[in-house]
Amino acid sequence: YAIGDVEVMFIPAWLALTVLAFGGIALVVRHLLIAPDLSARVALLLSLALLLVPLRLQLGEMPLSRAGHEAPRARVDEILAANPPPNAILVTNDRDDLVPLWYAQFAEGQRPDLLVLAPLITPAPEHRTVAALVQWALQWGRPVLLAKPMAGLEQRFDLHPHAGPLVAVQGPAAMPTEPPLQPDLAPALSVIGWEPTALRVQPGDLVTLSIALLPNAPLHEKLSFSLQLFDAAGTPIAQAEFPPDPFYPPTEWPAGEPARLLVSLVIPAETAEGLYEWRLSSYLLEGEQFTAVGQQVRIGRFQVVGVE
Protein backbone atom coordinates (compact mmCIF):
# COMPACT_ATOMS: atom_id res chain seq x y z
CA TYR A 1 0.00 0.00 0.00
CA ALA A 2 1.83 3.08 -1.25
CA ILE A 3 -0.90 5.56 -0.25
CA GLY A 4 0.28 7.50 2.79
CA ASP A 5 -2.87 7.44 4.88
CA VAL A 6 -3.35 3.70 4.24
CA GLU A 7 0.20 3.08 5.45
CA VAL A 8 -0.59 5.05 8.60
CA MET A 9 -3.84 3.17 9.12
CA PHE A 10 -2.01 -0.17 9.06
CA ILE A 11 0.70 0.81 11.59
CA PRO A 12 -1.15 -0.80 14.56
CA ALA A 13 -1.66 -3.98 12.52
CA TRP A 14 2.04 -4.14 11.59
CA LEU A 15 3.03 -3.67 15.24
CA ALA A 16 0.73 -6.47 16.33
CA LEU A 17 1.98 -8.76 13.55
CA THR A 18 5.59 -8.03 14.52
CA VAL A 19 4.96 -9.01 18.15
CA LEU A 20 3.17 -12.18 17.05
CA ALA A 21 5.97 -13.03 14.59
CA PHE A 22 8.65 -12.72 17.26
CA GLY A 23 6.54 -14.84 19.60
CA GLY A 24 6.24 -17.49 16.89
CA ILE A 25 9.97 -17.42 16.21
CA ALA A 26 10.65 -17.81 19.94
CA LEU A 27 8.41 -20.90 20.07
CA VAL A 28 10.13 -22.44 17.03
CA VAL A 29 13.59 -21.77 18.49
CA ARG A 30 12.57 -23.28 21.83
CA HIS A 31 11.22 -26.37 20.07
CA LEU A 32 14.43 -26.78 18.05
CA LEU A 33 16.61 -26.50 21.12
CA ILE A 34 14.74 -29.26 22.96
CA ALA A 35 14.05 -31.51 19.96
CA PRO A 36 15.61 -34.92 20.74
CA ASP A 37 16.37 -35.80 17.10
CA LEU A 38 18.46 -32.66 16.36
CA SER A 39 22.01 -32.04 17.45
CA ALA A 40 22.70 -28.87 19.42
CA ARG A 41 24.73 -27.44 16.53
CA VAL A 42 22.00 -27.98 13.94
CA ALA A 43 19.38 -26.55 16.29
CA LEU A 44 21.55 -23.49 16.92
CA LEU A 45 22.15 -22.89 13.20
CA LEU A 46 18.44 -23.17 12.41
CA SER A 47 17.62 -20.82 15.26
CA LEU A 48 20.14 -18.24 14.02
CA ALA A 49 18.71 -18.51 10.50
CA LEU A 50 15.25 -17.70 11.83
CA LEU A 51 16.58 -14.75 13.82
CA LEU A 52 18.32 -13.37 10.73
CA VAL A 53 14.95 -12.79 9.04
CA PRO A 54 13.70 -10.02 11.40
CA LEU A 55 17.26 -8.66 11.65
CA ARG A 56 17.46 -8.34 7.87
CA LEU A 57 14.07 -6.65 7.73
CA GLN A 58 15.07 -4.22 10.47
CA LEU A 59 18.33 -3.23 8.79
CA GLY A 60 16.74 -3.03 5.34
CA GLU A 61 13.84 -0.83 6.44
CA MET A 62 15.81 1.58 8.61
CA PRO A 63 15.96 4.24 5.84
CA LEU A 64 12.15 4.29 5.91
CA SER A 65 12.07 5.58 9.48
CA ARG A 66 9.87 8.66 9.84
CA ALA A 67 11.08 9.58 13.32
CA GLY A 68 12.42 12.93 12.09
CA HIS A 69 9.62 13.64 9.62
CA GLU A 70 8.02 16.66 11.27
CA ALA A 71 6.36 18.30 8.26
CA PRO A 72 2.86 16.88 8.99
CA ARG A 73 3.06 18.10 12.60
CA ALA A 74 4.17 21.57 11.48
CA ARG A 75 1.37 21.73 8.92
CA VAL A 76 -1.28 20.76 11.47
CA ASP A 77 0.04 23.39 13.89
CA GLU A 78 -0.03 26.02 11.12
CA ILE A 79 -3.63 25.23 10.22
CA LEU A 80 -4.86 25.23 13.82
CA ALA A 81 -2.92 28.43 14.59
CA ALA A 82 -4.90 30.11 11.78
CA ASN A 83 -7.94 29.67 14.07
CA PRO A 84 -10.65 28.34 11.74
CA PRO A 85 -14.16 29.55 12.68
CA PRO A 86 -16.14 27.33 15.06
CA ASN A 87 -17.77 24.33 13.38
CA ALA A 88 -16.01 25.07 10.10
CA ILE A 89 -15.66 22.51 7.33
CA LEU A 90 -12.05 22.20 6.13
CA VAL A 91 -11.61 20.77 2.64
CA THR A 92 -8.36 19.48 1.19
CA ASN A 93 -7.58 17.60 -2.00
CA ASP A 94 -5.07 15.26 -0.34
CA ARG A 95 -5.73 12.55 2.24
CA ASP A 96 -2.14 12.99 3.44
CA ASP A 97 -3.35 16.36 4.76
CA LEU A 98 -6.50 14.81 6.18
CA VAL A 99 -5.02 12.07 8.41
CA PRO A 100 -2.66 14.31 10.48
CA LEU A 101 -5.57 16.67 11.14
CA TRP A 102 -7.75 13.76 12.21
CA TYR A 103 -4.99 12.64 14.58
CA ALA A 104 -4.89 16.12 16.14
CA GLN A 105 -8.66 16.00 16.56
CA PHE A 106 -9.34 12.47 17.72
CA ALA A 107 -6.06 11.51 19.45
CA GLU A 108 -5.10 14.89 20.92
CA GLY A 109 -8.56 16.42 21.33
CA GLN A 110 -7.75 19.59 19.38
CA ARG A 111 -10.66 21.37 17.65
CA PRO A 112 -13.10 18.45 17.57
CA ASP A 113 -15.71 20.90 16.24
CA LEU A 114 -14.06 20.99 12.82
CA LEU A 115 -15.13 18.68 10.01
CA VAL A 116 -12.10 17.82 7.85
CA LEU A 117 -12.84 16.23 4.48
CA ALA A 118 -11.06 15.10 1.32
CA PRO A 119 -12.35 13.72 -2.00
CA LEU A 120 -13.60 10.11 -2.00
CA ILE A 121 -14.26 10.27 1.74
CA THR A 122 -17.38 8.32 0.69
CA PRO A 123 -18.33 6.81 -2.69
CA ALA A 124 -21.12 9.39 -3.13
CA PRO A 125 -20.92 11.48 -6.35
CA GLU A 126 -20.94 14.72 -4.33
CA HIS A 127 -17.68 13.63 -2.68
CA ARG A 128 -15.89 12.51 -5.85
CA THR A 129 -13.75 15.62 -6.48
CA VAL A 130 -12.57 18.55 -4.39
CA ALA A 131 -14.86 20.95 -6.28
CA ALA A 132 -17.89 18.70 -5.77
CA LEU A 133 -16.97 18.36 -2.09
CA VAL A 134 -16.80 22.15 -1.63
CA GLN A 135 -20.16 22.54 -3.38
CA TRP A 136 -21.66 19.91 -1.05
CA ALA A 137 -20.14 21.56 2.04
CA LEU A 138 -21.62 24.97 1.19
CA GLN A 139 -25.17 23.68 1.55
CA TRP A 140 -24.83 23.05 5.31
CA GLY A 141 -24.61 26.67 6.40
CA ARG A 142 -21.26 26.16 8.12
CA PRO A 143 -18.09 28.13 7.33
CA VAL A 144 -16.20 26.41 4.53
CA LEU A 145 -12.44 26.80 4.18
CA LEU A 146 -9.76 25.25 2.00
CA ALA A 147 -6.97 23.76 4.10
CA LYS A 148 -4.46 25.20 1.62
CA PRO A 149 -4.55 27.48 -1.44
CA MET A 150 -6.04 25.78 -4.50
CA ALA A 151 -6.22 28.66 -6.95
CA GLY A 152 -7.96 26.72 -9.71
CA LEU A 153 -11.13 26.53 -7.60
CA GLU A 154 -11.64 30.27 -8.21
CA GLN A 155 -13.10 29.17 -11.54
CA ARG A 156 -16.16 27.99 -9.62
CA PHE A 157 -16.06 29.59 -6.16
CA ASP A 158 -15.54 32.99 -4.55
CA LEU A 159 -12.27 32.56 -2.62
CA HIS A 160 -10.74 34.92 -0.04
CA PRO A 161 -7.59 34.51 2.11
CA HIS A 162 -8.41 33.72 5.75
CA ALA A 163 -5.23 33.35 7.83
CA GLY A 164 -2.15 31.20 7.49
CA PRO A 165 -2.68 28.67 4.70
CA LEU A 166 -6.48 28.73 4.98
CA VAL A 167 -8.71 30.12 2.22
CA ALA A 168 -12.35 31.00 2.91
CA VAL A 169 -15.00 29.93 0.41
CA GLN A 170 -17.71 32.59 0.38
CA GLY A 171 -19.96 30.84 -2.13
CA PRO A 172 -20.23 30.33 -5.88
CA ALA A 173 -18.13 32.61 -8.07
CA ALA A 174 -19.89 35.63 -9.53
CA MET A 175 -20.08 35.07 -13.28
CA PRO A 176 -19.68 38.00 -15.69
CA THR A 177 -22.75 38.73 -17.78
CA GLU A 178 -21.58 41.08 -20.56
CA PRO A 179 -22.33 39.17 -23.80
CA PRO A 180 -19.29 38.39 -25.96
CA LEU A 181 -19.04 39.42 -29.60
CA GLN A 182 -18.94 35.72 -30.54
CA PRO A 183 -20.19 32.99 -28.17
CA ASP A 184 -19.30 29.65 -29.79
CA LEU A 185 -15.75 28.77 -28.75
CA ALA A 186 -15.84 25.00 -29.41
CA PRO A 187 -18.48 22.33 -30.13
CA ALA A 188 -18.89 21.60 -26.41
CA LEU A 189 -18.03 25.02 -25.00
CA SER A 190 -19.54 28.51 -25.22
CA VAL A 191 -18.55 31.93 -23.91
CA ILE A 192 -21.57 33.33 -22.08
CA GLY A 193 -20.12 36.47 -20.50
CA TRP A 194 -17.05 38.57 -19.89
CA GLU A 195 -15.93 41.49 -17.75
CA PRO A 196 -12.61 43.39 -17.73
CA THR A 197 -11.17 45.33 -14.83
CA ALA A 198 -11.26 48.40 -17.12
CA LEU A 199 -12.48 49.38 -20.59
CA ARG A 200 -10.01 52.28 -20.84
CA VAL A 201 -6.41 51.41 -20.07
CA GLN A 202 -2.93 52.81 -20.54
CA PRO A 203 0.22 51.10 -21.84
CA GLY A 204 1.84 49.12 -19.04
CA ASP A 205 -1.44 48.52 -17.18
CA LEU A 206 -2.30 45.06 -15.89
CA VAL A 207 -5.76 44.03 -17.08
CA THR A 208 -7.67 41.02 -15.74
CA LEU A 209 -10.53 39.54 -17.70
CA SER A 210 -13.23 37.44 -16.11
CA ILE A 211 -14.65 35.12 -18.76
CA ALA A 212 -17.63 32.82 -18.16
CA LEU A 213 -17.56 29.53 -20.07
CA LEU A 214 -20.44 27.08 -20.33
CA PRO A 215 -19.53 23.44 -21.09
CA ASN A 216 -22.24 21.48 -22.88
CA ALA A 217 -20.49 18.09 -22.68
CA PRO A 218 -17.48 16.54 -20.93
CA LEU A 219 -14.20 18.28 -21.80
CA HIS A 220 -10.67 17.03 -22.35
CA GLU A 221 -8.47 17.04 -19.25
CA LYS A 222 -5.67 18.92 -21.05
CA LEU A 223 -7.83 21.63 -22.60
CA SER A 224 -5.99 24.96 -22.45
CA PHE A 225 -6.96 28.51 -23.35
CA SER A 226 -5.17 31.43 -24.97
CA LEU A 227 -6.30 35.04 -24.58
CA GLN A 228 -4.89 37.35 -27.25
CA LEU A 229 -4.92 41.09 -27.73
CA PHE A 230 -5.42 42.33 -31.31
CA ASP A 231 -5.07 45.81 -32.75
CA ALA A 232 -7.45 47.36 -35.30
CA ALA A 233 -5.49 45.79 -38.19
CA GLY A 234 -5.98 42.30 -36.76
CA THR A 235 -2.38 41.92 -35.58
CA PRO A 236 -1.82 40.15 -32.25
CA ILE A 237 0.32 42.23 -29.90
CA ALA A 238 0.09 40.28 -26.61
CA GLN A 239 -1.29 37.04 -25.22
CA ALA A 240 -1.71 35.06 -22.01
CA GLU A 241 -2.00 31.29 -21.67
CA PHE A 242 -4.34 29.45 -19.32
CA PRO A 243 -3.27 25.80 -18.91
CA PRO A 244 -5.54 23.26 -17.16
CA ASP A 245 -5.43 23.64 -13.40
CA PRO A 246 -4.59 20.50 -11.37
CA PHE A 247 -7.16 21.34 -8.68
CA TYR A 248 -10.05 21.93 -11.10
CA PRO A 249 -9.24 20.60 -14.59
CA PRO A 250 -11.78 20.90 -17.43
CA THR A 251 -12.78 17.25 -16.98
CA GLU A 252 -14.37 18.27 -13.68
CA TRP A 253 -16.41 21.14 -15.10
CA PRO A 254 -20.03 19.93 -14.87
CA ALA A 255 -21.95 20.17 -18.13
CA GLY A 256 -24.50 22.97 -17.92
CA GLU A 257 -22.71 24.81 -15.10
CA PRO A 258 -20.54 27.85 -15.91
CA ALA A 259 -16.84 28.05 -15.08
CA ARG A 260 -14.94 31.32 -14.73
CA LEU A 261 -11.54 32.04 -16.23
CA LEU A 262 -9.53 34.85 -14.64
CA VAL A 263 -6.83 35.80 -17.12
CA SER A 264 -4.38 38.65 -16.54
CA LEU A 265 -2.33 40.40 -19.21
CA VAL A 266 -0.05 43.45 -19.24
CA ILE A 267 -0.70 45.97 -22.00
CA PRO A 268 2.67 46.34 -23.78
CA ALA A 269 4.41 49.63 -23.04
CA GLU A 270 4.74 50.46 -26.75
CA THR A 271 1.00 50.04 -27.45
CA ALA A 272 -0.39 52.97 -29.42
CA GLU A 273 -3.68 54.69 -28.61
CA GLY A 274 -6.73 53.18 -30.23
CA LEU A 275 -9.39 50.50 -30.12
CA TYR A 276 -8.28 46.93 -29.37
CA GLU A 277 -10.00 43.57 -29.18
CA TRP A 278 -9.77 40.52 -26.91
CA ARG A 279 -9.96 37.10 -28.57
CA LEU A 280 -10.06 33.67 -26.94
CA SER A 281 -9.10 30.29 -28.34
CA SER A 282 -8.81 26.78 -26.91
CA TYR A 283 -6.34 24.03 -27.73
CA LEU A 284 -4.77 20.77 -26.62
CA LEU A 285 -1.03 20.56 -25.99
CA GLU A 286 0.27 17.02 -25.54
CA GLY A 287 4.05 16.96 -25.55
CA GLU A 288 5.00 19.06 -28.55
CA GLN A 289 1.78 18.37 -30.44
CA PHE A 290 -0.56 21.38 -30.66
CA THR A 291 -4.19 20.81 -31.66
CA ALA A 292 -6.65 23.67 -32.00
CA VAL A 293 -10.09 23.03 -30.52
CA GLY A 294 -12.95 24.95 -32.08
CA GLN A 295 -12.35 28.46 -33.36
CA GLN A 296 -10.92 31.68 -32.04
CA VAL A 297 -13.76 33.92 -30.87
CA ARG A 298 -13.98 37.66 -30.37
CA ILE A 299 -14.70 38.49 -26.74
CA GLY A 300 -14.93 42.28 -26.61
CA ARG A 301 -13.21 45.60 -27.23
CA PHE A 302 -11.48 48.20 -25.09
CA GLN A 303 -9.71 51.52 -25.53
CA VAL A 304 -6.01 52.24 -25.01
CA VAL A 305 -5.42 55.88 -24.11
CA GLY A 306 -2.23 57.86 -23.78
CA VAL A 307 -0.36 58.19 -20.51
CA GLU A 308 -1.63 61.26 -18.71
pLDDT digits over 61-99, tens only? 655 666 677 888 899 999 999 999 999 999 999 888 888
Question: Could you give the percent of the chain with pLDDT greater than 70?
Answer: 88
Structural domain spans, the chain: 4-64, 71-172, 184-304
> Residue 1: what pLDDT?
42
231's torsion region: left (phi>0), alpha (psi -120 to 50) or beta? beta
27's torsion region: left (phi>0), alpha (psi -120 to 50) or beta? alpha
Q: What is the dihedral of CA 185, 187, 188, 189, to 10 degrees?
A: 10
pTM score of the predicted model? 0.73
Whether pLDDT at 210 is above 60: yes
Q: What is the mean pLDDT of residues 46-57?
A: 71
Whether pLDDT at 4 is above 60: no
Whether pLDDT at 105 is above 80: yes
Query: Using H for helix, E for strand and C for coil, what is the string for 176-205?
Result: CCECCCCCEEECCEEEEEEEECCCEECCCC
Whether pLDDT at 13 is above 80: yes
Q: What is the mean pLDDT of residues 240-253?
A: 87
Whether pLDDT at 106 is above 70: yes
- Looking at domain 184-304, does it have CATH number 3.40.50.2300? no
> Residue 63: what pLDDT?
56
> Residue 27: what pLDDT?
81
Whether pLDDT at 184 is above 80: yes
Which residues are CB-contacts of 278 (< 8 A; sequence separation ≥ 6)? Answer: 194, 196, 209, 227, 228, 229, 230, 298, 299, 300, 301, 302
pLDDT band, residue 38 (cuts 50/70/90): low
